[in-house]
Amino acid sequence: MTERAARRLVLALLRSIRHGTLELHEEDRRTVIGTGEPRAVVIVRSPRAWPAVLRGGLGLGESYVAGGWESPDVTAVVELAARNLERVDDLRRALTPLREPFQRGRALLTRNTPGRARRGIAAHYDLGNDLFEAMLDPTMTYSCAVFERPDATLEEAQVAKLERICRKLDLQGDDRVLEIGTGWGSFALHAASTRGCHVTTTTLSERQADVALQRVRDAGLEDRITVLREDYRELRGTYDKLACIEMIEAVGWKDFGTFFGACSALLAPDGAMALQAIVIDDRLYEVEKASRTFIRTHVFPDGCLPSVAVIARSVARHGDMRVLDLEDITVGYPETLRRWRDNLHEHAAELHAAGYDERFRRLWHLYLCWCEAGFEVGRISDVQMVLGKPGRHPAPTASAAVAAAHA
């Protein structure tokens, strides 16, 4: 399709916008489509953007990274698109049964083996510790923060999140704690230093492991923290408590059951697991797991967001854990993402000097805006769950409804 024909078709499709206002700027014209909020402005820099947009979210994202379009507020553009996807979602759901046989056939050829998992983790988390040091707060925590005060710093909000997880697990000094997904060591350091427990933490990222080990040494906690470089399927032993903070998204939809079965087998009969997870709307799960999205293609290869229902089913069918508590902490994620984005902008010169070029900067700017919009419109959420073995009872802080359901 020619660029001119693609432009006509895109404009025709855009005129079906029901929610919000889109203001398009081209070299010699300005076009306004729709009314109300959200209001998004797109500046078309290249006619190649028009055919790219016809490839959906993947094309929209790739066109931005290539410089095909700009916006003073990229989050608003993605949010506007997300709020007008009802008919697209309906069509994708209708086509899902037709796509399922091909999806399952492809899955047989692309098992998320420990080796493949290591490569997938390295593709994101081994991009360079200087990148994440510039983006994150001093705790080096790469997950949703909990802002207990509007004026809280990002570091304070991340410590509040880590403390909340420790309280939900009711961590004690004599607990043997396992963490799957070390990050750069923030949970292990917080749990060991504030509770006195022993934490065994594992990551597949070589660069994360190196930093975590150094931070453990610097804190003088070598006797309380053990850092491993093992896949969750390779772990052995028995633990009292288990924490997994936004790592399940890398497990892959084919292995959610395997993951929860492994977690159950690693816990003592009265053990508990704290899970923080980015989850997708239950109604979108089957569609999204089969889709070649912008994030899964360019940011998190082999990743897949579970839904709350998928987690509950996997827990019920694999192992003997049950859900004791569920809390939605999504409200903190848009602000967390904005703080990360601001940090990257603040350190743009240093990152450029370190080899992160303009294309990479645009990719990560879009990635953070894309996620922020997803949380704002409710297509994705962030939850903290407490799972317990048969001998574990709901803690006093558990929600009354969940506690009563399992009494």
Show the tokens assigned to 46.
């290249």
- Got the DSSP string for 47-66? TTHHHHHTTHHHHHHHHHHT
Which residue among 244, 263, 304, 371 is the active-site one? 371
| Contact residues for 204 (Cβ-Cβ < 8 A; gap 6+) | 114, 117, 118, 121, 122, 229, 231
Torsion angle of alpha carbons 166, 169, 173, 179, nearest 10°? -80
Which of 227, 237, 238, 236 shows the shortest CA–CA distance to 204? 227
Which residue, chain included where needed, has tokens 């700009």?
70
Catalytic-residue membership of 371: yes
Cβ proximity of 281 and 380 under 8 Å: yes
Which of 384, 362, 200 shows the shortest CA–CA distance to 276? 384
Amino acid at 229: R
Rg (CA), the chain: 22
d(CA 406, CA 323): 8
Which residue, chain included where needed, has tokens 């704690």?
177
* Partners of residue 227 on adjacent β-strands: 201
In the DSSP assignment, the letter for residue 147 is -
Q: Which residues are catalytic?
A: 371
